Amino acid sequence: MTDLKAEIMRLKKERNAIILAHNYQLDEVQEVADYVGDSFYLSKVAAEIDCEVIVFSGVRFMAETAKILSPEKIVLLPEIDAGCPLADMITDEDVRNIKNQHPGVPVVCYINSSTEVKAESDVCCTSSNAVKVISSLPGRKVIFVPDGHLGDYVAKQLPDKELILWAGCCVTHAKVKPEDVLKAKDKYPGAKVLIHPECSPSVVEQADFVGSTSEIIRYAEKSDAKVFIIGTEVGVLCNLRASQPDKQFFLLHPGLVCPNMKKTRLQSVYEALAKNQYEIQVDVDLAAGARRSLTRMLELAQ
Ligand code: 13P
């Protein structure tokens, strides 16, 4: 393990590479990363960082986003089949059909979407800035794809907006049921319940705090509370336990493990750097369309 880490450090230097890791990545991967965070933070880093190679330890849409925002760099996804079922729940053709049904209504796509869907949309958003992005759009109606759970959460925050939603969801967060929150509250009385907006509405409405992975981490860091129930992927919990050993963190549901995020191991990161795999390529025209949606998000949600 130590040798592998040393080799990764050597290759990083040799190739002028940086490693980005999502909060859901395994500890062993987060430990070698230069930047760890949520989807919004990592896309900002990818857009601004000065390097030749980005190793994106996450899932495909994240690596594609990095390539779109930094087309001159080599972007590597260490596990080629690390995908996102939510992103696969809608196609660009579906988006064109909704647009035809609602002419003139702006389309916001969650960053968990394909490059094609981003190119069909007016602006992109992440879980940390969805409310800000959608509230900044003119007019009452907004089409939001593909996460219906996040869309429901945003709609409740913005009663003046009328959101037209797509029924996609994160299959991992959707496992949590409202009774799981009741059980956890019974088991850990007084604990703060922190929940990701990809959970279903009946779960989200029982939260003390709703936010992105990094917002959940920051909330727990700043809170005076000592016990927390975490309603997002287990990677966040590992991170919290390491950084705040004086507090207690419990996972809301044992199924909160994203199999795609867990595909990337330390070995995969090493092989990515050593063998230049798997290099992400994005069609130039599609990338231009998707870049417009992503850049607009970066401008709106500074
Ligand atoms: P955030 O990192 O923006 O909270 O999103 C989590 C996620 O959906 C990863 O797939």
Of 144, 169, 194, the last residue of a domain is 169
Of 169, 202, 217, the last residue of a domain is 169
pLDDT at 302 over 80: no
Residue 25 lies in a domain: yes
According to DSSP, the β-strands at 53-57 and 17-22 are: parallel
Q: Two tokens at 192?
A: 């703060």
CATH code of 133's domain: 3.40.50.10800
Residue bearing the bigger pLDDT, 265 or 239: 265
Please tell me whether the peptide bond between 146 and the residue prior to it is cis, using omega within 30 degrees of 0: yes
Residue 301 lies in a domain: no
3-state secondary structure of 232: coil
Look at residues 51, 115, 58, 67 and name the one whose alpha carbon lies nearest to residue 88. Answer: 115
According to DSSP, the β-strands at 141-145 and 162-165 are: parallel
Let me know whether 199 and 272 are in one domain. no
Distance of CA 21 to the CA centre of its chain: 11
**Which among 196, 210, 262 is the best mutation to test ligand 1's pocket, defined by most ligand atoms within 8 Å of the CB?**
196
Amino acid, res. 199: C
Q: Are 208 and 216 in contact (CB under 8 A)?
A: no
Q: What is the pLDDT of residue 181?
A: 98
Let me know whether 110 and 151 are in one domain. yes
Q: What is the pLDDT of residues 43-77, one digit of tens each?
A: 999 999 999 999 999 999 999 999 999 999 999 99
Please tell me whether the peptide bond between 278 and the residue prior to it is cis, using omega within 30 degrees of 0: yes
Of 169, 190, 206, the last residue of a domain is 169
Let me know whether 201 and 225 are in one domain. yes
* Residue 2's pLDDT band (cuts 50, 70, 90): low
Q: What is the pLDDT of residues 78-120, one digit of tens each?
A: 999 999 999 999 999 999 999 999 999 999 999 999 999 999 9
Q: Two tokens at 115?
A: 């490059």
pLDDT at 234 over 60: yes
Q: What is the DSSP string of 142-192?
A: EEEESBHHHHHHHHHH-TT-EEEE--B--TTGGG--HHHHHHHHHHSTT-E
Q: How many C-beta atoms lie closer than 10 Å to residue 33's C-beta?
A: 20
Q: What is the pLDDT of residue 108?
A: 98
Let me know whether 9 and 45 are in one domain. yes
Distance of CA 298 to the CA centre of its chain: 15
Instruction: Return d(Cα 280, Cα 68) in angstroms, integer.
Output: 10
The count of domains in the chain is: 3
Residue 298 lies in a domain: no
Instruction: Return d(Cα 229, Cα 241) in angstroms, integer.
Output: 12
The percent helix, strand, coil of the chain (3-state, each to 5) is 45, 15, 35
pTM of the model: 0.96
Q: Two tokens at 153?
A: 């959460």
Q: Two tokens at 21?
A: 């890791």
pLDDT at 185 over 80: yes
Cβ-based neighbours of 161, under 8 Å, separated by 6 or more:
134, 135, 140, 141, 142, 154, 155
3-state secondary structure of 22: strand
Instruction: Return d(Cα 217, Cα 194) in angstroms, integer.
Output: 9
Q: What is the CA radius of gyration of the chain?
A: 19
Ligand 1: which atom is nearest the Cα of residue 24?
9
Instruction: Return d(Cα 19, Cα 31) in angstroms, integer.
Output: 10
Let me know whether 91 and 156 are in one domain. yes
Look at residues 227, 277, 237, 279 and name the one whose alpha carbon lies nearest to residue 257. Answer: 237
Query: What residue ranges line ligand 1, CB within 6 angstroms?
Result: 23, 38-40, 84, 112, 126-128, 198, 212-213
Residue 120 lies in a domain: yes
173 alpha carbon – ligand 1 mean position (Å): 11
* Residue 239's pLDDT band (cuts 50, 70, 90): confident
Residue 6 phi, psi (nearest 5):
-65, -40
* Residue 231's pLDDT band (cuts 50, 70, 90): very high
Let me know whether 9 and 65 are in one domain. yes
- Residue span of the structural domain in which 226 resides: 173-251
Measured by CA distance, the residue closest to atom 10 of ligand 1 is: 112
What does the DSSP 8-state code read for residue 165?
E
Ligand 1: which atom is nearest the Cα of residue 196?
4
Instruction: Return d(Cα 173, Cα 270) in angstroms, integer.
Output: 30
Give bridge partners of residue 110 from the DSSP assignment. 125
36 alpha carbon – ligand 1 mean position (Å): 12
Residue 287 lies in a domain: no
